[in-house]
A = this chain, B = another copy of it.
Amino acid sequence: MNRHLDNLAEFLKIPSVSADPSHKADVEQAARWLEAKLKNLGFTVEVVSTPGHPIVYAEKLVSASAPTLLVYGHYDVQPPDPLELWQTPPFEPTLRDGKLYARGSSDDKGQIFAHIAAVEDLGKELAINLKFVIEGEEEISSANLAPFVKANQQRLKCDVLLISDGAMLLPGVPTLTYGLRGLSYLEVHLEGARRDLHSGVYGGAAPNPVHAASWMIAKLKAEEGRILIPGFYHKVRPLSEKEKRNFASLPFDQTAFAASIGAGALPGEPGFGVMERIWARPTLDVNGIWGGYQGEGSKTVIPSKAGFKFSMRLVPDQDPGEIFQLAEAYLQQILPAGYRMKVIRHGMGKPVITDLEAPAMKAAAQALEAAWGKPAVFTREGGSIPIVADFQELLGAPVVLMGLGLNDDNLHAPNEKFDVINFEKGIEASGNFMRILAKGI
């Protein structure tokens, strides 16, 4: 374990922030680090160039008759800002109280590396064909991954696809996820006057795009929690009775959940429980807003420009492209008179759902139970891994989502961490899974 932790720390030290062009060389370095690591374990490795950041593809084929497992993950990380809120620097991995703190520790370097460490531990015992696809653009929408998968369908052929880029339900509760939400992410730019105006000289007769943004946001999602885009809920698949029972049976403490994020309330769509709202209902959140004077003190300005970014999490059978269109049409409809608007599309991803009865799912449950000493639970997840839907479509293999993180890992936030016990059990469960698959599937 110490060797694995040292190796992971080395990986985490590389600030592979895919969103920031100034980190381009670091992203490349992280890919090269994986290349060296996997070559060392006997893999044939290719660092595949793309119009963006490279994809690391590695394979180790033991026998044409053995089952093939494809493991997907990503080596890029979110930007670390705001830096001043980190207790220790984001790219100086630090162990504190059984947790490894660093940007990317849980999302996703720590989780993908658990599978590499499992291969290392198995050594010559490895009896399946193993393929790795580890990309560098997951945090910026994976634009170049689907084309790669499409162009390499034969090469990537597999019996099972394994992904660890998520969280367990609770600490110590091994978890398999059979559903993911999709995503449509938009950005809105508003302009009133062509220049900033003095709020005394013009106040009362000037467009103010911050107000326009506020009116529009208030019309996107009502204060009572419902999303107001016409047609938005139209294709939402209702929860089955079996799923509802399963959700209700899961250990979940709403008070502890609220306390864990320091929230005074858990507002959301009326008529649904917290887990239903996060896992099985679509949402809309403004992710950022700006306009006018943000500095200290007062400035009496009517800003010329304002803008906001918002994302919608989607569930089966919503289609992200269709949601883009519905949202854009609605934005045009609610744009107040006298403002110019520009709408930019960012990433999108399809929602995913996997058959709970697939043999690969059952094997994964067995592997987790052997590692943790207790049965795995089946959950859905509120997050999106847009490429999963593409993988499923292009490779036709069942997807096993074995999240190794925890919900309090501070993903995309300061002080991201990965519990060492999760890393350890993840390595063990991954090795178990490879052993079980070797017996045939």
- Whether the pair A278, B208 counts as a contact (CB closer than 8 A) is no
With the chains together, A308 CA to B300 CA distance in Å? 13
Q: A265-B207, A298-B346 are in contact. Are A309 and B292 (CB under 8 A)?
A: yes
Residues of chain A touching chain B, judged by Cβ–Cβ distance below 8 Å, are 19, 78-79, 81, 140-141, 167, 181, 183, 185, 187, 192-208, 210-211, 213-215, 217-218, 221, 223, 257, 261-269, 274, 277-278, 281-283, 285-303, 306, 308-309, 311, 313, 336-340, 346-347, 381-384, 407, 410-414
- Verify B290–A211 contact, CB threshold 8 A: no
| A374 vs chain B, min Cβ distance (A) | 23
> Which listed residue (B199, B211, B346, B382) contacts A202, Cβ 8 A?
B382
Tell me, in angstroms, the Cα distance from A339 to B215 when the chains sit together.
Answer: 20
Would B311 and A300 count as touching, CB distance under 8 A?
Answer: yes
How far is the CB of A245 from the nearest CB of chain B, in Å? 20
- Check A223/B336 contact, CB under 8 A, given A200-B384, A300-B311, A413-B301: yes
Cα distance A198–B257 when bound, in Å?
Answer: 14
A381:B200 contact, CB within 8 angstroms: yes
Q: Which chain B positions have C-beta within 8 A of A167?
A: 201
B204 touching A269, Cβ below 8 Å:
yes
30 interchain pairs, CB-CB under 8 A: A19-B295, A81-B295, A181-B200, A192-B264, A193-B262, A195-B261, A196-B412, A196-B414, A200-B313, A201-B383, A203-B285, A205-B268, A206-B261, A207-B265, A208-B286, A211-B218, A211-B285, A211-B286, A213-B289, A214-B215, A214-B218, A265-B338, A287-B293, A287-B301, A288-B294, A288-B303, A289-B294, A297-B346, A298-B311, A300-B384
Determine the chain B residues whose CB is within 8 A of the CB of A19 once the complex forms: 295-297, 299
**Chain B nearest Cβ from A206, distance in angstroms:** 6
Which residue of B199, B215, B263, B281 is within 8 Å of A218 (Cβ)? B215
Whether B140 and A203, one on each chain, are in contact in the complex, defined by CB atoms closer than 8 angstroms, is: no
Determine whether the beta carbon of B300 is less than 8 Å from that of A204. Answer: no
A183 to B292, CA, bound (A): 18
Given the interface contacts A198-B413, A211-B221, A287-B199, does A206 sit within 8 Å of B263 by beta carbon?
A: yes
Task: Verify A287–B299 contact, CB threshold 8 A.
Answer: yes
A167 to B208, CA, bound (A): 22
Hey, which chain B residues are within 8 Å of A347, CB to CB? 298
A61 CA / B262 CA spacing, docked (Å): 66
Question: Nearest Cβ distance between residue A140 and chain B, in whole angstroms?
Answer: 6
Asked if residues A140 and B298 are in contact (CB atoms below 8 Å), the reply is yes
Closest CB in chain B relative to A174 CB, distance in Å: 18
Smallest CB separation, A25 vs chain B (Å): 18
Evaluate contact between B217 and A211: CB separation under 8 angstroms: yes
The one of B78, B208, B269, B290 in contact with A285, judged by C-beta atoms closer than 8 angstroms, is B208
Given contacts A205-B268, A383-B198, A411-B198, contact A210 B289 (CB under 8 A): yes
Q: Are B302 and A285 in contact (CB under 8 A)?
A: yes
A289 CB contacts on chain B under 8 angstroms: 210, 213-214, 289-292, 294, 306
Expressed in whole angstroms, the Cα–Cα distance for A298 and B306 within the complex equals: 16
In the complex, the chain B residue whose C-beta lies closest to that of A218 is: B218
Which interface residue of A167, A213, A267 has the most chain B CB atoms within 10 A? Answer: A267
Residue on B with the closest CB to A307? B294
Q: Which of B264, B274, B336 touches A267 (beta carbons < 8 Å)?
A: B336
Nearest residue in B to A266 (C-beta to C-beta)? B205
Q: Which residues of B contact A261 (CB under 8 A)?
A: 193-195, 197, 202, 206
**A267: which B residues are within 8 A, CB to CB?**
205-207, 336-338
* Bound form: Cα–Cα A274–B198 in Å: 15
The 4 closest A-B pairs by CB, nearest first: A265-B338, A200-B383, A194-B262, A288-B292
**In this complex, what residue of B is CB-closest to A257?**
B205
Given known A194-B262, A195-B414, contact A204–B287 (CB-CB < 8 A): no
Cα A223 to Cα B334 with chains together (Å): 11
